[in-house]
Structure 1
Amino acid sequence: MTSPADTALASLEFAVTRNPAPRSAAEREAALRDPVFGTVFTDHMVGITWTDGEGWHDARVQPYGPLALDPAAAVLHYGQEIFEGIKAYRHADGSVYTFRPDQNAARLQRSAHRLALPELPADLFTQALRELIAVDGAWVPSGADQSLYLRPFVFASEPFLGVRPAREVSFYIIASPVGAYFKGGAKPVSIWLSEDYARAGKGGTGAAKTGGNYAASLLPQAEAYEQGCDQVVFLDADGNVEELGGMNVVFVYKDGTIVTPASASILAGITRLSLLELARDRGHDVQERAISIDEWRQGVASGDIVEVFACGTAAVVAPIGQLKGHAFSDEQPLGELALSLREELTDIQYGRRDDRHSWLVRLDG
């Protein structure tokens, strides 16, 4: 789904239309005081259009607002859409950085390929982030553990009911200021083992960041809530651990080995990737392999597994304190490695520690 024009594309000139009624400085300050995830949005958004033959064009920064969508738009009927999640961080000197956008761009491309959507060039992905920050940079908060959550998404906007890849596609980025995921520091979460539902199947869309995967997780997530749990964990057909509804899982063994599930149907988490690289820097043996639910339970019971944690963009790291299922309830060990890695990673993201891997990319200036 990438045309020759897209491959050669280095950048686009963005037309900027300012919001005629932006929030005042006082209104923005009030919104940033204690932001709640995904409830308040900035004054502008980025849009780029793709059409078959013309490729990516009509790049623009426009006022945030409702989209005009034809009732026959393919996304409404066949779910042809993908998205990403990435943050912008305010450093102590006032500058604004993001974290590993090349990885988000690459994952968006992989998701696009699986959903038969055009692949947005990585340089254009990062440029679009910069264009939004250029007009809405004041929305990047400066409080402790606060950031501006950026949501790029792509969907089939062509009005056509035939079952084929869309020939018109829309890309947008919206942004929402967010506060600390855990008030007062990372807290252990409880996990419900889903035995009746699967998140993804072999050859399916599990490795793509597409809305259908998340929609399919909502019912088992509701089941987890009914059981007094914070999240749900899914297994594959062989009883191996996959991931939570929206986070990856990591296991720490008593010999220092770190294991994370490997499967073609798991979403490749950028937070997980980064934490594993930091762990390798510390000398840990890091393995990506299948791990069964029985190995999890037996490892905790024997003391071989000394720590289990979940990780993702929103929470960064969440220690798992309890695993509950239909016939058991296991208390999970709470070690220190997860919180130590979380501190190191967030220190890099906020500019408090040396970025020795060159993961940070400046968005302003």
Structure 2
Amino acid sequence: MAVFGTVFMPQMALATFENDKWNDTQKVSAESIQIHPGAHVLHYSSTCFEGLKAFRHEDGGIYVFRMDKNLNRFEQSSELLNLPKINKHQVAAMILDIVAQYADEVPQPPGSMYIRPTHVGTEASIGKAAAPSLSSILYVLLSPVGDYFAGGAKPLRLLLDETGMRCAPHMGMIKSGGNYASALGPILKARNDVQADQILFCPNGDVQETGAANFILIDGNEIITKALDSSFLHGVTRDSILTLAADLGMTISERNISVDELLERAAKPGVEAALSGTAAVLTPVGTFIHNDKEHQVGNGEAGLTTMKLRQALNDIQWGKAEDKHNWLVKVN
């Protein structure tokens, strides 16, 4: 199987915003897009995207998971970047239409079709460092993917960083490429220096998120995660996992948690930690690295509750459990 996210369907859906209006959707080659070298996005990072998935069920039906939630965040990201306001109805139609076109290419579980709507500012003006792009393109790219855990769900090693942040605080809830770029240098350094898989950013001791996923702590029947604010990404998978945990009767605590409390709880038997995101669903965490010392989380292995919640979410996505919350949209 190819590396996750490196195979693409031949065509994508694309729409342009010009003269204060969105033009009709086109089907174009997914090989390239044409923008001016002076395009706003290339100089001032006016770009945002989403990540969602379509799944194949046993009856052959194809279903997109939580498209409405992703579209709401896509709209929010575009507005916070002062990009043209998206037409959610048009984008929803773009997603469903292009997925339907490639329905036969949607892999069987545990694979899926990864869907990447992307919005970029295209106005050719290098004098607009402090002004928004008045034109843009929006496209929907498809990538069939296999199991993110093809080699098994190996518990991750996280470096706790109390000095840095993933991105500027007011940019945190925007799903923009610049936020990932700003976290990349510290993550690469952590991999090299202490063999960490990711950094858990904890500015001034406040446990927030990693470079590409939300963080949760599970202590017995309680699931603890930072309450939503503008400093970090409002994950759709995070929301789904918390909803399923509540369905199972777990106590949901959305609140601030300090590094001190995190390490104190992590030392207790049975405590679990995990990262949530579209690609990896729920990834177990086995080790925290803090001030050159390693702290094992619980028994250091993938926790039972973590894997139970991950399976519960997968079962809904794959059509093996009832979709009580109406999260799935049928494509065909």
TM-score range, shorter chain: over 0.9
Give the alignment's TM-score, normalised by structure 2: 0.94
Distance 1:235 1:116 in 2: 28
**1:204-353 equivalences in 2 (<5 Å):** 204-226=170-192, 227-236=194-203, 238-254=204-220, 256-262=221-227, 263-303=229-269, 306-333=271-298, 334=301, 335-353=303-321
Distance 1:248 1:271, change over 3 A: same
| Residue aligning to 1:110 | 76
Offset at residue 42 of structure 1 (A): 0.6
Aligned to 1:169: 136
* 2:18 matched residue in structure 1: 51
CA deviation profile, 1:113-162 (whole Å, cap 9, x unmatched): 110012323322221111112322222112x3101111110000111122
Distance in 2, matches of 1:187 and 1:302, equals 20
Q: What corresponds to 1:200 in structure 2? A: 167
- Residue-by-residue CA offset, 1:60-95 (whole Å, 9 max, x unaligned): 112222111111100011001100001111111211
CA distance in 1, matches of 2:119, 2:46: 9
Counterpart CA distance in 2 for 1:176 and 1:318 is 21
Q: Hey, what's the Cα distance between the residues in 2 that align with 1:348 and 1:111?
A: 27
CA distance in 2, matches of 1:62, 1:296: 49
Contact 1:61 1:131 in 2 (8 A): no
Contact 1:82–1:211 (8 Å) recurs in 2: yes
Cα distance between partner residues in 1 of 2:151 and 2:125: 50
Paired AA for residue 317 in structure 2: Q
> Corresponding residue for 1:66?
32
Q: Write the deviation string for residues 214-272 of structure 1: whole angstroms up to 9, x where unpaired.
A: 00011111022112121111123x32011011010111123x11111123211000001
- After superposition, give the CA deviation of every residue in 1:288-312 in whole Å (9 maximum; x if it has no partner): 1111111101112355x71111110
8 Å contact kept, 1:105–1:121: no
Q: Which aligned runs of 4 or more in structure 1 are off by greater than 4 angstroms? A: none
Within 2, Cα distance between the matches of 1:250 and 1:135?
37
Alignment partners' CA distance in 1, 2:240 and 2:283: 15
Give yes or no for contact 2:84–2:135 (8 Å, CA) kept in 1: no
Give the counterpart letter for 1:186 in structure 2.
A
* Mapped contact 2:41–2:120 kept (Cα < 8 A): yes
1:140 alignment counterpart: 106
Q: Quick one: which of 107, 123, 127 aligns to 1:158?
A: 123
For residue 362 of structure 1, what is the aligned residue in structure 2? 330
- Measured after TM superposition, the shift of residue 52 of structure 1 is 4.1
Unaligned runs of 5+ in 1: 1-33
Shift of residue 196 of structure 1? 4.4
Q: 1:118 and 1:363 mapped to 2: Cα distance?
A: 27
CA distance in 1, matches of 2:218, 2:177: 31
Q: Across the two proteins, how many residue pairs are aligned to each other?
A: 325
State whether residues 111 and 208 of structure 1, in contact with CA within 8 Å, keep that contact through their aligned partners in structure 2. Answer: yes
- CA–CA distance in structure 1, aligned partners of residues 100 and 295 of structure 2: 49
Contact 1:252 1:306 in 2 (8 A): yes
Q: Which residue does the alignment assign to 1:179?
A: 146
Indicate conservation of the 8 Å contact 1:191/1:232, yes or no.
yes
Distance 1:83 1:244 in 2: 18
Give the deviation of 1:273 after TM superposition.
0.2
Equivalent pair of 1:152/1:172 in contact (CA under 8 Å): yes
